[in-house]
Amino acid sequence: MPATSPVINRFATTWRHGRSQRSGTFGRTMELSLTFLVVFFEVLLLPFALLLAWAIYCDLSKSEIPPGIDQPMKLRILHWLLILSSAVGKILENLCLCSEIDFIRFTQEGKKMGEDPKLTILDLAFEGTPVRVYQPRGMAGQPKRRGLIYFHGGGWMFGSINSYDHVCRYMAKESDSVIVSVGYHLAPEQKYPSQFEECLSTTVHFMRTAEAYGVDPALVALGGDSVGGNLAASVCQALVTRFDLPKPLAQVLIYPGLQAINFDLPSYQQNRAVPILYREHVVAAALKYLNKDLSVTESVVQGRHVPSDIRRRFEKWINSENVPSEFKARGYQPSSASSFLDNVYEVVKQALETTFSPLLAEEAVIARLPTTCIITCEYDVLRDDGLLYKKRLEDHGVPVTWFHIENGFHGVINLFDGLLAFPSGKKGLDSIVTFLKSL
């Protein structure tokens, strides 16, 4: 073999040594990466998997998904995520990192979507309350439009302008209406009746300045879903007794909670464990809003908080007999009220005020209410609140447009688009748009 030069020998030796160093470095890097992945799996993924398994177990062991509900598997997945966020929130609260409520709010907050070529969107404050105004473009030179003041749902403790951004954009564009989304301050930081008072003052401010936003003051409607429907109904009742403002054009009540007397109506029995709102959740949210001890929850569910004189007074309005028979076919069992407990009444008596239970309003107030749109869902504990209010309004000559989502559940309007969209949510939202366009 021909002899190699000393230079080539030195180069070959250096290259082999560098290759060996590079191989060693690469090996150590791979080893560190694998170690990191193992630690990551053990520290984060494994606990997450256990929490997810626990959420699935809680859902399967406690919830009931009726066969007629819209996309039952998708609803279960949604419920798993909600249980999971609550569980993580509890852990973080125990670690003193943040409260459970704050974490759930963070997971549900969402964010403001980008610019929309069909809308002008303004973030403002009315009387110190954040609002977001959605104005259809091309309003210059056009007749004044109708407006809808919208109060979001969320059990008085959750929900925000951002989390309802997609809903309000859709209503504004499809109905060609100005939508005012109200970011009222939440419980438990703010106690009852501050949300009602805040929503009322915000509404009065807008009605007095409506023309600045291209809205005819005589064409202002109020609306909301769940507790937002409760707030809309209460504010509307307060406004119809005033003479310094135009009467509201209409009210849009989407699966509203309207009374705290009877939690044993057919819908409360039939849907007591249907996600995403259990019967016990309704009572617990009400007690937290009132800043009361949750220890009385079961007594309130049993109706032991209502004195006999109050029960007799409102029985003609809040009675299972007023619920149409077709809504009692699914396993409803009439039951008698449990014995009254004065100490429980003293804790929750504010829940029987009309600003909390608008279904209890006086006859004169009910008779003055404007045309009303009520949305109910078959698989919702609050279904019968809407049905009872519908009957009471109609008995007093108030025009009512009723849309019933036969395969819907509580909260479905907010799930009309995205990965967890439900066709029944889109159907319900389109019904609201149809009603607004008819005004």
pLDDT in tens, 83-125: 999 998 898 899 989 999 999 999 998 778 889 999 999 999 9
Judge whether 277 lies within some domain: no
Is 244 noted as a catalytic residue in this protein? no
Same domain, 68 and 141: no
Instruction: Pick the last residue of a domain from 83, 107, 131.
Output: 107
Same domain, 65 and 154: no
Residue 141 pLDDT: 56
Q: Which of 59, 70, 165, 380 is labelled catalytic? A: 380
Same domain, 97 and 198: no
Judge whether 269 lies within some domain: no
Is 309 noted as a catalytic residue in this protein? no
* Spatial distance between the Cα atoms of 299 and 94, rounded to a whole number of angstroms: 29
Same domain, 151 and 179: yes
411: left (phi over 0), alpha (psi -120 to 50) or beta: left
Judge whether 301 lies within some domain: no
* Spatial distance between the Cα atoms of 64 and 60, rounded to a whole number of angstroms: 8
- The dihedral through the CA atoms of 63, 68, 74, 75 has a sign that is negative
Residue 17 pLDDT: 45
Same domain, 200 and 241: yes
Is 410 noted as a catalytic residue in this protein? yes
Structure tokens at 67: 């066969």
Instruction: Pick the last residue of a domain from 66, 86, 107.
Output: 107
Q: Which of 226, 267, 320, 424 is labelled catalytic? A: 226
Domain count, the chain: 2
pLDDT in tens, 67-94: 999 899 999 999 999 999 999 889 889 9
Whether 225 and 414 have beta carbons less than 8 Å apart is answered as yes
Whether 152 and 231 have beta carbons less than 8 Å apart is answered as no
Structure tokens at 373: 């749109």
- Coil vs helix vs strand at 220: strand
Same domain, 154 and 232: yes
Go through 192-207 and write b for each residue having 16 or more CB atoms within 10 A of its CB, e for each that does not. Answer: bbbbbebbbbbbbbbb
Judge whether 27 lies within some domain: no
Whether 118 and 174 have beta carbons less than 8 Å apart is answered as no
Residue 162 is which amino acid?
N
Q: What is the pTM of this model?
A: 0.88
* Spatial distance between the Cα atoms of 302 and 256, rounded to a whole number of angstroms: 21
* Spatial distance between the Cα atoms of 63 and 50, rounded to a whole number of angstroms: 19
Judge whether 22 lies within some domain: no
Residue 32 pLDDT: 62
DSSP 43: I
Q: Extract the runs of DSSP E, i.e. beta strands, from 54-142.
A: 119-126, 129-136
Residue 52 pLDDT: 81
Q: CA angle, 300 as apex, 299 and 304 as ends, to 5°?
A: 65
Residue ranges for the chain with pLDDT beneath 50: 1-23, 26
Instruction: Pick the last residue of a domain from 107, 136, 161.
Output: 107
Task: Give the CATH number of the domain where residue 429 resides.
Answer: 3.40.50.1820
Q: Which of 70, 165, 410, 424 is labelled catalytic? A: 410
Q: 405 Cβ partners below 8 Å, 6+ apart? A: 375, 376, 377, 378, 412, 424, 427, 428
Closest CA to 361 of 244, 251, 285, 217: 251
Residue 23 pLDDT: 46
Same domain, 44 and 154: no
Residue 144 is which amino acid?
K
Same domain, 103 and 182: no
Structure tokens at 280: 């016990």
* Spatial distance between the Cα atoms of 261 and 382, rounded to a whole number of angstroms: 13
Judge whether 152 lies within some domain: yes
Judge whether 406 lies within some domain: yes
Report the 3 state secondary structure along 301-325: HCCCCCCHHHHHHHCCCCCHHHCCH
Q: 51 Cβ partners below 8 Å, 6+ apart? A: 84, 87, 88
Same domain, 252 and 348: yes
Residue 152 is which amino acid?
H
- The dihedral through the CA atoms of 90, 91, 94, 97 has a sign that is negative
214: left (phi over 0), alpha (psi -120 to 50) or beta: left
Closest CA to 359 of 439, 268, 259: 259
Same domain, 243 and 118: yes
Whether 155 and 226 have beta carbons less than 8 Å apart is answered as yes
Whether 216 and 145 have beta carbons less than 8 Å apart is answered as yes
Residues in the chain: 439
Residue 211 pLDDT: 94
Judge whether 292 lies within some domain: no
**From residue 288, how far is each of 187, 190, 331, 407 by CA, in Å?**
7, 10, 30, 30
Whether 109 and 162 have beta carbons less than 8 Å apart is answered as yes
Closest CA to 164 of 291, 254, 235, 283: 254
DSSP 111: -
Structure tokens at 390: 């519908």
**From residue 10, how far is each of 13, 17, 18, 174, 180 by CA, in Å?**
5, 11, 12, 79, 79
Same domain, 203 and 69: no
Q: Tell me the residue range of the domain where 40 lies.
A: 33-107
Terminal CA-CA length for the chain:
101
Same domain, 211 and 69: no
Residue 39 pLDDT: 52
Q: CB atoms < 10 A from the CB of 219, how many?
A: 20
